[in-house]
Amino acid sequence: MTVQTSARESYHPPYQVTNSAETIMRFPFPFPEDTYMYSMNVEPHVRSGPVAAMHHTFDIDEHYVAECAEKARILEQDPKRCIVLPHMREAEWDFVEFAMTCLSEQYPQHFSLRREGQDWHWVNRLLGYEQSFVFGDATTLPLPPFEYMARQMQGDFTLHDQREDDLWMDGGMVTSQADWSLKFDLGMSFRQWHAPVPKAAEMGVFDRGLRFLLMLQPGKPVRRLNWTMTINPRLDTSPENFMVWGPDRASVTPENVADKVHLRVELQTLYRMPRSNAILFSIRCYLMPVRDIMRVSKWRRRLHRVLRDLDPALSSYKGLDLYRQTVVDFLAPYDDGAPLSSGIQPDADQPESVLASVA
């Protein structure tokens, strides 16, 4: 995966984000079937899968530098997007070790880590960082350990303490969330922060999910895909900034739908940390405009069917009601109704040309 080495892209106005053919084909399209209902849909995170976004512990793609720059911009405006409660200090160092080890081993051309006992030396060539520090001594880093490392990674991260037969969100860095707030959810239990999701509680999804996660073992991470839709390539759709991005949902027209509406997918991975016993929750956000989805025949047909038949309660919960029908109407002429293969993998090695798929 080629990584852009400068932050030429922009995830805030004026927007400027483009996806290469490689990025389109590695996109974690979230629909294995023609219909969708909320479920656990958890599987082992084994560094393989139907699309390349699943092939590393932490995925680095061509938008790395731009997304890290956007994260830094958001944190400068609102430092409380990163909060870790004091009792999670050991989990912070768990995260530092795990992230640095995975990145340096899986992307040695971009990252390196040298360890001599507790004396560590970290190099991030993509962002131009080089840091010697003493592992376990926060005074030897320029930022608190969790914040220092999370700033150098795409996506959001939360830390969950396990106690009282529950999981508690006791830390995190959240700058690319789909309309939820770390400041609001901090300290909540597993059921509390999932409470707004319609129908899932009645279906027993959260009870099963909590039982499963309480038994999560070190070295056996799991993953799932979650999705919604976003207007414009905006990573920061936080409730704190709803007055900024919320009105965009009323701006979709038949003429601009292909470029304005983005399928927003979260590759969610969960890891048991070995020292602290905390669970690290990684929420890696991918944005793909309808125009790019149109370039994959299977995906454009399936997206039409999923949105057309989506449960109204889920449509409302995901904030799609103002523009879902516009997207469905746009996609309908490109869906011939033919059967599609199950799974999320594309049905071709390369995307179609833009002109062939969108007149």
What are the catalytic residues?
A: 224
CB atoms within 10 A of CB 8: 12
For residue 158, give the H/E element and its range: strand 156-163
- Please give the Cα distance from 123 to 42 (Å, whole number): 33
SS3 115: strand
Instruction: Work out the angle at residue 145's Cα, subtended by the Cα atoms of residues 142 and 150, and round it to the nearest 5 degrees.
Output: 100
Do 159 and 146 contact (CB within 8 A), yes or no?
yes
Q: Within 13 Å, how many C-alpha atoms sit on residue 239's CB side?
A: 8
Give the CA distances from residue 285 to residues 66, 113, 217, 255, 331, in Å, rounded to whole numbers and listed in that order. 13, 26, 25, 26, 23
- Please give the Cα distance from 148 to 68 (Å, whole number): 12
H helices within 144-261, ranges in order? Answer: 145-150, 182-185, 190-194, 205-214, 242-245, 257-260
Whether cis (ω within 30° of 0) applies to the bond prior to 32 is: no
Tokens of 221: 């991470």
284: closest CA among 270, 268, 263, 271?
A: 268
- Please give the Cα distance from 83 to 86 (Å, whole number): 10
